[in-house]
């Protein structure tokens, strides 16, 4: 069944496909290896990140959409310049939750179709406000501006 490829259709998906290329999905809704190979890149991190789902695990590389990679590099540089490592850790800015999800959660979500970043729910207050400014300064759209349930999500179009 892995050789069956689907492509979702809607106005939103057509717009996103114009930016990112055709979304090739397997029957289970997961992108094909071909799509991942064309669109995703492993990125080495300057400062390691704690993995939200396993806090004792530290990441030195993450997989991100190649289209958002230059902007994400600048976001991470600015976060690292703004907060010293101990302060970043205290504010949970060194926690990695998600950078790539192909229509995760309850179904296709245009915020996450290949180029998004989710901050930890532990990032709050001034740190969250400053981080929102950093992401938007580098071309990301803050999902929290229109989706109250997504105050820590950013997507790159």
**C-alpha distances in Å from residue 67, one per residue of 30, 54, 59, 95, 121:** 19, 28, 21, 22, 25
Q: How many domains does the chain have?
A: 1
Question: What percent of the chain is modeled with pLDDT above 70?
Answer: 81
Domain assignment present for 33 = no
Q: What is the pTM of this model?
A: 0.80
> Is the pLDDT assigned to residue 21 strictly greater than 50?
yes
Domain assignment present for 34 = no
pLDDT of residue 111: 44
- Span 26-54, average pLDDT: 85
> Is the pLDDT assigned to residue 82 strictly greater than 60?
yes
Domain assignment present for 30 = no
> Is the pLDDT assigned to residue 38 strictly greater than 70?
yes
Residues recorded for the chain: 157
Cβ atoms 114, 65 nearer than 8 A? yes
CA-atom Rg of the chain in angstroms: 16
Domain assignment of residue 121, given as a range:
42-155
Residue 110: pLDDT band (50, 70, 90) is very low
């Amino acid at each position: 069944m892995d050789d069956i490829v689907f492509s979702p259709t809607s106005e939103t998906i057509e717009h996103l496909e114009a930016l990112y290329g055709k979304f090739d999905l397997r029957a289970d809704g997961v992108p094909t290896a071909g799509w991942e190979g064309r669109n995703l890149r492993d990125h080495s991190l300057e400062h390691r990140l704690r993995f939200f789902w396993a806090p004792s695990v530290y990441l030195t590389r993450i997989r991100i959409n190649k289209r958002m990679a230059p902007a994400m590099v600048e976001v991470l540089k600015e976060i690292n310049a703004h907060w010293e490592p101990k302060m970043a850790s205290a504010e949970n800015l060194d926690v990695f939750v998600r950078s790539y999800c192909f229509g995760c959660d309850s179904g296709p979500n245009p915020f996450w179709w290949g180029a998004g970043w989710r901050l930890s729910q532990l990032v709050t207050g001034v740190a969250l406000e400053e981080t929102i400014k950093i992401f938007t300064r580098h071309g990301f759209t803050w999902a929290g501006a229109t989706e109250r349930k997504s105050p820590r999500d950013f997507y790159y179009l």
